[in-house]
Amino acid sequence: MSADAPAQKRSSTAIMSTRLEPSHPLPHRDPAEAHVLDNAAWASLNGPHRHLAQTVGSAARYRTDVSPFVAVADPGQPQSWSDLAALVGAGNSFAIAGVPTLPDGWATGQSGQGVQMVATAVEARTDPEAEPLGPADVPEMLELVERAKPGPFLPGTVEMGAYYGIRRGGRLVAMAGERLRPPGWTEISAVCTDEEHRGQGLASRLVLHTAAGIGARGDTPFLHAAAVNTGAIRLYETLGFTLRRSTLFHFLQVPGDR
Question: Mind giving me the DSSP string for 64-101?
Answer: TTT-SBEEES-TT-HHHHHHHHHHH-TT-EEEEES-SS
Which residues are paired to 114 by β-bridges? 226, 247
Of 94, 113, 132, the last residue of a domain is: 113
Same domain, residue pair 109 and 123:
no
Does residue 75 sit in the same domain as residue 89?
Answer: yes
Which of 78, 113, 148 is the C-terminal boundary of a domain? 113
| 2 C-beta neighbours (distance < 10 Å), count | 25
Same domain, 190 and 141: yes
Alpha-carbon distance values, 135 to 132, 141, 158, 215, 219 (Å):
10, 10, 7, 24, 24
Q: How far apart are CA 16 and CA 87, in angstroms?
A: 47
Q: Are 232 and 4 in contact (CB under 8 A)?
A: yes
pLDDT tens readout for residues 192-240: 999 999 999 999 999 999 999 999 999 999 999 999 999 999 999 999 9
Is 69 contained in some domain? yes
| pTM (2 d.p.) | 0.88
Q: Does 227 lie in the same domain as 156?
A: yes
108 pLDDT band, cuts 50/70/90, is: confident
Q: Can you give the pLDDT at residue 21?
A: 61
Domain range enclosing 186: 5-32+115-246
One-letter amino acid for residue 2 of the chain: S
Cα separation, 17 vs 19, whole angstroms = 7
Question: Do residues 9 and 130 both lie within one domain?
Answer: yes
In a domain, 257, yes or no: no
Do 14 and 129 share a structural domain? yes
How many structural domains compose the chain? 2
